[in-house]
Structure 1
């Protein structure tokens, strides 16, 4: 009986396993990087919820803004840089007739997270319990790996 040359089969098998391994590792790192984006977006949603509710009940006074900034820095996830008072811009509009009684709070990410370089925005609109004006606030945050 003649022995077959299995050298080609061994090489093909090794190459197949290498390709599968590289594909798995690539997919694994993609999932980890995408999880960072989801975590930052979730934290931005929480910040927007909190900011809209705080502004709607307490207004935009200096004490409210400074306590908000302190609390945001305490609730931010790893990687989000500390927020300063200059990062929050609030405008009150009394000229809308009839009054809309709303607070619009947007949190936006300057830059990107990992491979995802598009802008991430979280916006919440709530009833203004403090007055009839429309209050629009924008908080800009940055992320550092």
Structure 2
């Protein structure tokens, strides 16, 4: 009877150790998931903010160097410095819809999201206050 009780106790101890290992691994997995998810949201929010700012400044015909300087003040620490050559704008004089369209692209480096979902795309369209024609701009961010 005593040996049966000792064997049951050994099995219970092993089960407890396995249970605690599983619980610990679950918490660690959730911890890293939350960190990766928050980084993806931070990159998306930053791209949205930059596209809204750039669209507004382009719509009032602000100088490109001033727009870039403002964007560098707004961007997060995880975004590399934006140069004036990075912002590419094209005036389409065949379309007179008074729109400024700004597309900002970035790619997450941590492969948290699979495939195209790993790409961040922010698009903002505003009223063009300085011209009747459509102006489309694009910027690709480098994330650190």
TM-score by length of 1: 0.89
**What is aligned with 1:32?**
35
CA-to-aligned-CA distance 1:7-27 (integer Å, 9 cap, x gap): 110111111111111111111
> Is residue 106 from structure 1 mapped to residue 103 from structure 2 by the alignment?
yes
> Is residue 130 from structure 1 mapped to residue 120 from structure 2 by the alignment?
no
Any conservation in 2 of the 1:37–1:113 contact (CA below 8 Å)?
no
Aligned mates of 1:116, 1:10 — CA distance in 2 = 36
3-state DSSP of counterpart to 2:85: helix
Aligned mates of 1:16, 1:76 — CA distance in 2 = 44
> Is residue 69 from structure 1 mapped to residue 65 from structure 2 by the alignment?
no
Aligned mates of 1:134, 1:116 — CA distance in 2 = 36
3-state DSSP of counterpart to 2:79: coil
Give runs of ≥4 in structure 1 deviating > 4 Å. Answer: none
Post-superposition shift, 1:2?
4.0
Gapped regions of structure 1 (runs ≥ 5)? none
Aligned mates of 1:2, 1:89 — CA distance in 2 = 81
**What is aligned with 1:50?**
53
Aligned mates of 2:73, 2:102 — CA distance in 1 = 19
TM-score by length of 2: 0.89
Aligned mates of 1:113, 1:77 — CA distance in 2 = 16
Post-superposition shift, 1:70?
1.0
Any conservation in 2 of the 1:108–1:120 contact (CA below 8 Å)?
yes
> Is residue 120 from structure 1 mapped to residue 116 from structure 2 by the alignment?
no
Aligned mates of 1:113, 1:69 — CA distance in 2 = 24
CA-to-aligned-CA distance 1:79-116 (integer Å, 9 cap, x gap): 110011111100001112xx20100011111x324233
User: What's the C-alpha RMSD, in Å, of the aligned pairs?
Assistant: 1.5
Gapped regions of structure 2 (runs ≥ 5)? none
Provide the aligned length of Structure 1 versus Structure 2.
137
Aligned mates of 2:127, 2:72 — CA distance in 1 = 25
